[in-house]
């Protein structure tokens, strides 16, 4: 029943987007990675199944990912990340919803410096964020690249004292994705 309701909501959204003839760009295979530079150990993980959509008519943007899709150099790191830190069973997704601050015509080919402002929800905590980046448009595709820091305590991600020197308090998040015009 739950799957059916979700399916109906998706169909409704698709019909709404189509009916209003908006210019949408989307992907379901964007990359987001993070890097933790700590005294005893560097940690890096990548998620290659990130979904994103941009409405080029009003510059709204949304990004969503499953936390469990982050891949680590070894399974033990991945297990600790999902069970002990991000609690991905309880908080399965990370979401950004916002708007590109600058007035840009993304339907026109060019390279644009852009800043997205909105809310990010991670680990059940929603915070206002500003994300700087670059958008390259050829009219049919948008290539997004961005990098920003996340302070773990802002999202109530606790680091046990025993591993405090292995995990940075602030991690660098980097994203790269190509969205295709729909």
Tokens of 68: 């469990």
Q: Where are the domains of the chain?
A: 23-181
23-181 is classed in which CATH architecture?
Beta Barrel (2.40)
Its pTM stands at 0.85
Distance CA 72, CA 81 (A): 9
Question: What per-residue string of b and e applies to 68-99 under the rule 16 or more CB within 10 Å gives b?
Answer: bbbebeeeebeebbbeebbbbeebeebebebe
Counted residue by residue, the chain has a size of 182
Note the pLDDT of residue 7. 41
Distance CA 128, CA 96 (A): 9
Tokens of 125: 């905590």
Q: Pinpoint the alpha helices (H) of 21-168.
A: 75-80
**Confidence band for 3, pLDDT divided at 50, 70 and 90:** very low
State the average pLDDT over residues 131-148. 97
| SS3 at position 57 | coil
Look over the chain and give the mean of its residue pLDDT values, rounded to a whole number: 88
State the average pLDDT over residues 138-144. 97
Per-residue pLDDT tens digits for 61-105: 999 999 999 999 989 889 988 998 899 999 999 999 999 999 999
**Is residue 151 scored above 80 in pLDDT?**
yes
Tokens of 154: 């802002």
Strand partners, 24: 55
Coarse DSSP helix, strand, coil percentages of the chain, rounded to the nearest 5 percent: 25, 50, 25
Q: What is the CA 32 to chain-centroid distance, rounded?
A: 7
């Amino acid at each position: 029943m739950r799957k059916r309701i979700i399916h109906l909501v998706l169909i409704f959204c698709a019909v709404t987007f189509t009916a209003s003839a908006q210019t949408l760009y989307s992907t379901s295979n964007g990359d987001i990675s993070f890097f933790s530079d700590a005294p005893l150990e560097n940690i890096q993980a990548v998620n290659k199944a990130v979904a994103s959509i941009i409405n080029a008519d009003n510059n709204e943007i949304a990004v969503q990912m499953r936390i469990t899709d982050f891949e680590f150099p070894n399974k033990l790191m991945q297990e600790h990340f999902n069970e002990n830190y991000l609690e991905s069973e309880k908080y399965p997704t990370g979401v950004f919803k916002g708007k590109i601050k600058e007035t840009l015509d993304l339907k026109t080919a060019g390279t644009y410096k852009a800043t997205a402002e909105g809310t990010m929800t991670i680990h059940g905590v929603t915070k206002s964020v500003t994300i700087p980046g670059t958008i390259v448009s050829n009219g049919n595709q948008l290539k997004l690249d961005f990098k920003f820091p996340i302070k773990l305590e802002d999202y109530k991600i606790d680091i046990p004292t025993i591993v405090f020197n292995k995990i940075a308090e602030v991690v660098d998040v980097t994203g790269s994705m190509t969205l295709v015009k729909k």
